[in-house]
């Protein structure tokens, strides 16, 4: 489902002496449907960078990133938009929403964009929010004022509201208590069982051991010091 071949990336900081910082070279990996691959490596080794390149908000310098039949490294913006709409889901560590929009609508939005009816979309959103133990009295409020753990669960609900064939998970259990962590792990296992191809960053070692079929150490893709 996701195949990365000979991928490289560097940043050019024009306003800081045009410093060129190579951050990745020769990255290769592949994830099949129903498989969960964990990215490991020290902070700064490029786990999140790799994840963002697959999502398409970081540009690749060379190589290819096939998600289904789309090469994200070369795709036009509208192909990536279509990919994100139906095929590729992403649970990031940050919740970015229009202020004042109720939580239930934030979660239902990916389904509305896919053309699902408003009632069905909200129904699915409410079921997920309930499963993730977000109190019902919060559903009509904007998540911008929620606690870190609550915002994270709203983000997870958004990422699981549609059965995306490919999923990127950036520390999905980072700020959750034991009960909610278990709910999230169960959701991820269910996604695997229905055939989603998953790439995740998990600092939670037990979660990693339970979910990941394979681990890839991204340090092997990290070039030496900045030139």
CB of 113 to other proteins, least distance (A): 6
**Residue 199, beta-bridge partner list:** 37, 168
Q: Is the CB of 79 or the CB of 217 nearer to other proteins?
A: 79
CB of 52 to other proteins, least distance (A): 7
Q: Is the CB of 94 or the CB of 135 nearer to other proteins?
A: 94
- At 80 the three-state DSSP class reads helix
Tell me the C-alpha distance between 152 and 43, whole Å.
21
Q: Is the CB of 118 or the CB of 127 nearer to other proteins?
A: 118
Tell me the C-alpha distance between 38 and 22, whole Å.
23
Q: Is the CB of 114 or the CB of 190 nearer to other proteins?
A: 114
CB of 59 to other proteins, least distance (A): 5
Packing angle of the helix pair 118-131, 148-160 (nearest 10 deg)? 130
Residue 7, φ and ψ in degrees, nearest 5? -85, 135
Positions that interact with other proteins (CB under 8 A):
11-15, 52, 56-59, 77-78, 80-82, 96-101, 112-115
Q: Is the CB of 207 or the CB of 221 nearer to other proteins?
A: 221
CB of 73 to other proteins, least distance (A): 12
Q: Which residues of 198-210 are buried (b: 16+ CB within 10 A; e: fewer)?
A: bbbbbebeebbee
CB of 81 to other proteins, least distance (A): 5
- At 14 the three-state DSSP class reads coil
Tell me the C-alpha distance between 159 and 169, whole Å.
9
């Amino acid at each position: 489902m996701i195949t990365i071949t000979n991928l490289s990336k560097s940043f050019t900081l024009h306003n800081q002496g045009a410093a060129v910082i190579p951050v990745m070279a020769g990255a290769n990996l592949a994830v099949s449907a129903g498989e969960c691959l964990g990215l490991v490596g020290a902070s700064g080794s490029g786990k999140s960078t790799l994840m963002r390149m697959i999502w398409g908000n970081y540009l690749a310098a060379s190589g290819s990133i096939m998600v289904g039949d789309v090469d994200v490294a070369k795709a036009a913006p509208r192909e990536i938009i279509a990919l994100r709409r139906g095929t590729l889901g992403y649970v990031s560590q940050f919740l970015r929403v229009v202020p004042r929009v109720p939580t239930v609508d934030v979660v239902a939005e990916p389904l509305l964009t896919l053309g699902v009816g408003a009632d069905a979309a909200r129904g699915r959103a409410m079921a997920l929010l309930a499963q993730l133990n977000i109190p019902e009295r919060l559903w009509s409020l904007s998540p911008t004022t929620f606690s870190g753990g609550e915002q994270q669960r709203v983000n997870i609900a958004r990422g699981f509201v549609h059965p995306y064939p490919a999923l990127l998970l950036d520390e999905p259990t980072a700020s959750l208590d034991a009960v909610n962590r278990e709910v999230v792990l169960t959701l991820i296992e269910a996604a695997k069982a229905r055939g989603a191809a998953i790439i995740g960053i998990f600092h939670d070692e037990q979660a990693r051991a339970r979910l990941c079929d394979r681990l890839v150490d991204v340090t092997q893709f990290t070039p030496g010091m900045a030139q």
